Structure 1
Amino acid sequence: MATTTRKRSSKKEEILKTAARMFREKGYTGTSMRDLAEKIGIEAASLYNHIQSKGEILDEIVFSIARDCQEQLENMNASETALQRIESLIRFHTKMMIDHFESYSVMVSEWIHLEEDKLSEFVSDRRRYVKKIETIVQEGIDNKEFKPVSPYVVVLNILSSVRGLEFWQKSAKTHTAEEIEENMVKHLIGGLKL
């Protein structure tokens, strides 16, 4: 029984990974369950032994990455300075875009296709997430660690810059992941520090 559960779990992981790649490349609406089954090498009907619907696949991809982001934010050391926490978040998001490119890209671009109840939940969670980061930025401003800039603009700048790493992922990668991470931190923190 445990072997069957592991096989199902392994197949479901393969489905989610393949779906993330296809959703990123073709878009959620441009990917059919038949396309997905063909890419995996199984019959379309067999997909339903592992997953109920294409919508469920999108939910799992989007909310899995969103949960990782939320956990990172919640588990930050409150005794660190705002600067240290923002640097940690920049590094985290950069690594997510580098190490989990397909799924992270789906979260930032395909979430709009979530079904209504899940869409509302995601939008609310995202707003809370942005507000929490804005609070850290405001703390840095109040403590004279950061320039007096709009916390909302800072958050947009960080998240947009990380999203821009899609170009690096698609390029010849003339820079290492480590170089990219260090330069992202230098650039984004450099624009904040007094």
Structure 2
Amino acid sequence: MRKTQNSGFLVRGDVSDLNKEYYGVLKDIYELSYVGNGKVHLFKCHWWDVAHLGRGDKIDKYGLTSVYNHCALNTNEPFILASQSEQVFYLNDMVDKDWLIVVKHNPRDLFNVPKAMESMGTTSQTLGNDVANEILAQLDFITREIKMMQSNIGSTKGDLGSIKGDLGSMKEDMATIMGG
């Protein structure tokens, strides 16, 4: 562990461990590239052993979670998908020097947008579907924005016609005033 306070990751447990949270710090980032410009980002992490509450992690009376800095998880699977991670920060515990307090953090401008687009009949069962759904959601948003801009342009054309008409009548009024 570094000497400074650090940021790290939280990964929520799978189906059998619904409420279990696993904590770690980033060691390396890998980008896997596939044919057709597909890319997947993997994080290699150092994980703390949180298998037994009280030994590797604990929750205090205020609901704050702490991890034991010297209780590493021995695993052959240190990798997670970037999309599975949530950012957390670790603060040095001033009372228990070997423990780090976990601070969960929601990044600014991050919105919880559903990945599956049920209206299109797709499901989010594989990574490929997740990427496709995100792209489809962005395309749907862009399409709606373009339609809105086109309708605004259409109404602007009418406004321009009335402005031209107003300018014509203003010219006539000026000619009348000027005596011509």
TM-score under structure 1 normalisation? 0.26
TM-score normalised by length of structure 2: 0.27
Higher helix share: 1
Structure holding more strand per residue: 2
Which structure would you say has the larger RCO, counting Cα contacts within 8 Å and 6 or more residues apart? 1
Select the structure of larger CA radius of gyration: 2
